[in-house]
Amino acid sequence: MSTAQRKAAAKSSSASRFLNYPRRNKQGWTRWLPSARLWGLGLLGALLLAIAGFTVGYALTPIPEPNAQAAGQTSYVYYKGGDDVIGTFKDQNRKILKPDEISPNMAHAAQAAEDKSFYENRGISIKGIFRAAVGIVTNDYAGGGSSITQQYVKNYYLTNEFSLKRKVKEMFIAIKLDQELSKDQIMANYLNTIYLGRRAYGVEVASQSYFDKDAKDLTVEEAAAFAAMIQTPGAKDPAEDPSRLQERFDYVIDNMVDLEYLTQEEADKMELPKFHKPKSDNERKGQTGYLMDSVRHELKTNAGLTDEQIDRGGLQIHTGIDKKMMKSAVESVEDLPKLKSGMHVGLSSVDPKTGQIRAIYGGKNYFKRMHNSSTQDTAQAGSTFKPFTLVAGLENGFRLNDSFTGSPQTFQLPGGGTWAPQNYGGKTYGQVTLLKATQNSINTAYAQLNIDVGPEKTKDVAVRAGLPEDTQGLDSNASNVLGTASPTTLQMASAFATFAAEGVHRTPHFVVKTVDPDGETIYEAENEGEKKFDKNVMAETTYALTQVVQGGSASYASNLGRPVAGKTGTSNDSKSAWFVGYTPQLATAVSIFRYDDKGVPIDIGSYGGRGSITGGSYPTIAWTKYMQGAMKGMDVEQFPERGELPNVQKPENKSGGSREVPQQPRNTERPRTGPRDEGGSEKQPKETKAPEINNPDEESSPEKGRQLERPTELPDDIEKRNPQDPKEREQPQPEQPKKEKRKKDDPPKNPNPDSQGGN
C-alpha cells in the first residue's frame, strides 16, 4: 500500500469514528441506523441550507411594480362648481385613502377578522404558509391563514395564481414591505385593495355604496360588517340577506373584545347595521354617456392622456357643464312634438367669455345611438351662414343701409357662368337694405353681397369665427352664403359665441382642468382666446341679428325677455332647420335634422302639425325654452354700443345686381330689447311677438309658400296672456297690430310688407 493510500484510509477511518457510522457498538441491521450525532448533523445541515436558500431567495426577490388594476383609482368627472359628479372612469371602482382618512374602527375590525397578530408579526404567518404548502401538495387548498401583509401583497403586486412559487414570492415581498412601511400604512394599503362586492374596491367606495358615508366615519358595527365580508364578497348582497354575515360578524366582534378594542358589555350591544340598497349601475343613461364620451375624447386629444391614465389615474376632472342648463336642454327637446323616424335634435350652448361648454343634447338614448347629435352629427346650415357673409361685407366697406336686389334675378359669376337663386316661396322684395335682407333672410340680396364681396371671404370669416376648415361642404363657391356647409351644432354655437365675445374666439371645451390624486393640476384649458374680428364690426353684426329676433324670422325668441341676437336657417328640401342665437353671456345652437338608415340627410317633411319645418319654428321654440331655464336668475346684460366701422373702399359690383336706392344715414343708437320697425327706430311693445304662423321663412329651400299651421304645443290661451306680467313673461305672445311710422333716417321700408320672412 502506498503512502497516499494509507493516508486516505486513515482519514476515512477517522470520519467513520466521528460519525459512528456504521455504528460500532450495534449488531446486525441496527448498525445501519443513523446515530443521534448523525441526526443532529443532518438537521444542522438542513437548517444551514434553509438559511442559505432563504437568504438567496430574499435577496433575489425584488418588490415588483404594482398590479395595474389594483393600483388604479377611479377618476371622477364633475359638473361646473365641482360638487356634483357627472360620472366616473374606472377599471375597478376604487379611491385610495391615506391612513388618517380611514376610521380606526375599520383597521381594528380587519385585524380582528384576518390577522390578530398583525401589529406584532414581521409580515408573514408561518402557520398560514405551512397550511398553504400542505394544501398545494395535496391539491386541497382552502385558503385563509395569510397575514394582512401577505394578502395586501397578493392583491397589489401579484395574482390569485394557485402555486407554491407564488406563495414563496408573496412571503419574501411581505417581509420586505414590513421592513419598509409602517403597520398603519400597510393596513391602509390593504383596506384600499380589498373587494367588498357591488363592484366596490377598497373601503371608501364600499362605504359610499353600502352606507352613503366616507370611510373615516364608519362605526364599529359597519366596520365589523365589512370585515365579515372580506372572505366572501361575492355572496348575496347583505341588503337582501344580512343574515349570511351574522356568524362571521359575531366572530369579528368577539376577536375585537380579545384584542381589547371593545369591552364585553359594548360587544353585547353590537348588531348588524342596516345596508343601503344598491344603486343602479347604469352610469351612462340619459345625457351622461354623451358627456362622458366627449370628456374622454377631449382628455386624450387636448391633454394627451391615455385611456389607462383616464381609467386608473384617480383624476378629478372638472368641466364647465352646468347641471341646471343640462336639465333645461333636456326639457326643451322633450317638449318638442314626437320626432319621426330618423329625426334628431342637436343643442349646444357655449359661454362666450370662457369657451366653456355649458350644455349639450346628444340624443334621446345613448345605448341605442351613441353618435352625439351635438358634437358629431352634421347638418346643412342654411341661412345661419348669412352672418358670415354679413361680417365679410362689413369688413369690406358695406353698410347695413346699403341697397341690394331683393327680387329673383340671374347673377353673373366672376369666374364665368350664371346663378339664379330664389327666395323662400318665390317671394319678391324689390330693393332692400342689407339690414332688411338680414331681418327677413332674403336670399337674392345676400347672393348679390356674397358675389360682390367674394365668397372666399365668407369662408374665411366662418373659419375665423370657429368652423374647422375641413367642415363638410365648406367651399368658396357663391352659394356658400346659403349654407351649403354642414357643421355640427357645437361648431355653430362656437362661431356665434365669437360674435358675442366682440370678435374674440375661444375654442369650445368641456374640461376646465384636471387634477391628479396628489392635488397637482396636470391639465388646464386655455380660455384667453384670440382676437379675430374688429369689435365694431361685431357690434354692427350683433345689431343686425337682433332685428331677426325683433320682428324678423326669429321673433319667437323675443320671449326670452332680454337682448337676443341670432339667425334662423333651413336647408334645401327641408333636410335641416336651425336657430343659432346668443346673449352677451351665452351662445346656443339648435338644429333639427333627419337621416335615413345609412346616415344620408333626407327631407324632414311635415312635422308637429306643420306642412314643413323652418328654423323660425321648432328650432327657435326649443332654443327659447332652453334659454329661459338656462338663464333664469342671471343678470340682464346689454350688447355693446355700435361704433365706427373700418374705413374700407367698397368692392366693385361684380354681380351686376342693382344698388340704385340712395344710401341712408346709419342709426348709431344702441338697440334695446324691444322690437324696432323696419328703419330701426326703437319701440317698446305692449306685447311680445309670437312666431309668424302663416308667413314661411325666406330661406334657401325651393319649396313654394307652403302654409304653416299653429304649432301644436302653443297653449290655447296664448292670446289672453300679458308678457309684461312677470309670471307670464316666458310664455309666447302674439304681437298686437300697430301703426308703423318711419323717421327720415330710417332705411327704406320693404315694398312687400305683408311678408315677414321666417327662417
Task: List, by residue number, the catalytic residues.
Answer: 114, 383
Cβ atoms of 28 and 47 closer than 8 Å = no
The label of the residue with cell 347604469 reads 282
* Cis status, amide bond into 22, omega within 30 of 0: yes
Joined together, the cell numbers standing for residue 342 give 330618423
What DSSP designation does 644 have? P
Quote the CA–CA distance of 352 and 615 in Å, as a whole number. Answer: 23
Quote the CA–CA distance of 262 and 250 in Å, as a whole number. Answer: 13
Quote the CA–CA distance of 339 and 3 in Å, as a whole number. Answer: 113
3-class SS of residue 41: helix
Cα 129 → chain centroid: 49
* Cis status, amide bond into 414, omega within 30 of 0: no
Cβ neighbours around 670 below 10 Å, total: 14
Nearest alpha carbon to residue 640 among 749, 537, 751, 497: 537
Alpha helix positions (H), 454-522: 455-465, 489-500
Amino acid (1-letter code) at residue 727: K
Cβ atoms of 594 and 604 closer than 8 Å = yes
3-class SS of residue 351: coil
Cβ atoms of 121 and 115 closer than 8 Å = yes
Quote the CA–CA distance of 92 and 729 in Å, as a whole number. Answer: 50
**All residues at 6 or more sequence positions from 86 whose CB lies less than 8 Å from its CB, including other chains:** 77, 78, 79, 288, 291, 292, 295, 319, 321
Query: Which residues share a beta bridge with 345?
Result: 592
Cβ atoms of 703 and 610 closer than 8 Å = no
Phi/psi for 20 (5° steps) reads 55, 50
Joined together, the cell numbers standing for residue 392 give 365679410
Quote the CA–CA distance of 689 and 557 in Å, as a whole number. Answer: 9
